[in-house]
Homo-oligomer: A and B are copies of this chain.
């Protein structure tokens, strides 16, 4: 029922209020990781619930969990119509280091056309798009299909209670598709939608050498140094072509055809700009794949943290008892994170020299995910993007992982459409996080039109 003309009209009339409301939400420091912000997290949940009510939701509730609450809301107009379930989160990453921000992280400002604040892109701004799109539809003839919303407060800390919530509320959450705005587009001139996400296997390694820290002068060169051993083990995990050497690692990897690779390489990408942005002289990665492919379709292995011995100022001549590393592997379809975790652990234990003891502890994992693109929901999203941004969105394969997406598939049997409106330059999780005003406002239109097109396609 709603048209591009109506969305444009409503937007121009309510633009300032839409920004004001988002700013109000951004001022609440709902940092889920830090207990000191517990009350603010609750406050943000109440704010979100209130806005659903104001926009015309039938039910809007703050569902308490063992951790931070989940806001649920819905508007059911006809059980025979299709149902969209929107997922988002109102919690944010910690803002530190504060000193690297040019403005207060919880006092949003607009700078160069972008809203600068913690959570502006991830995910308050992108989540709030859906509340305002809901309002826009309600004020322009009502929603064209049933809508449900599930907005959590623990995304930045692992969504532990969300998994319990969805397992316990399968009926309540019954829908046809899930829509998530928590990813980014290539550029405003090149709208895109992520159609695949990598999985992850994250582990921690502890290497123990002697039973106590030793004097490196007395024992050095005669007793295995756990840091040197850890460095050797890490090095051996990749060969000179940067292939992961864990036996079986690539066995289930879905290899793309040359045609598929050609297709994905049509995405606009400039290696010089990429290097300049990161201030690096060269890239590095798996041989026979280019940078886009390494990021999008190849499994990878990175050390995310390493520590051992003396790491303070100055010098201490210690041969430490222990050394540690955190290592993650990003997985692609059809790798299974349980299998990869097992292979990695077994391999690492098998290559440990007798001179040390090695302990491998799995942290967490997630399955890779692929959005099917031959569905009504994907086509509706594609059409909505094209209508608002002037171009058909490029399907992209993302290196990031959103473990809940594969959980939704497993527990609810639902696919997710990743309608991300952010940009890579938004600096999510970093100081000076920002979100384009244009992205925010156009996002609202895009989401409203998506519902319209999805309802139309679903009717037949």
Contact = CB atoms under 8 A, between A and B. Distances in A.
Contacts of A278: 209-212, 214, 219, 223
Nearest to A218: B399
A228 interface: yes
A210 to B, nearest CB: 4
Interface residues of A, number: 85
Contacts of A304: 216, 227, 309-310, 315-320
Contacts of A305: 227, 308-311, 316, 318, 320
A409 interface: no
A400 B218 contact: yes
Interface string A232-266: 10111010001000000000000000000000000
Interface stretch (A84-92, A161-169, A279-287): A279-287
Interface in A388-408: 398-401
Contact of A221 (B228, B286, B364, B398): B286
Interface in A274-332: 278-286, 291, 294-295, 298-311, 314-320, 323-326, 328, 330
A363 B400 CA distance: 40
Given A221-B300, A278-B223, A285-B221, A326 B310 contact: yes
A355 interface: yes
A217 interface: yes
A231 interface: yes
Contacts of A214: 278
Contacts of A212: 278, 430
B308 A309 contact: no
Interface of A: 198, 200, 202, 204, 209-225, 227-232, 234-236, 238, 242, 278-286, 291, 294-295, 298-311, 314-320, 323-326, 328, 330, 353-356, 363-364, 398-401, 424, 428-430
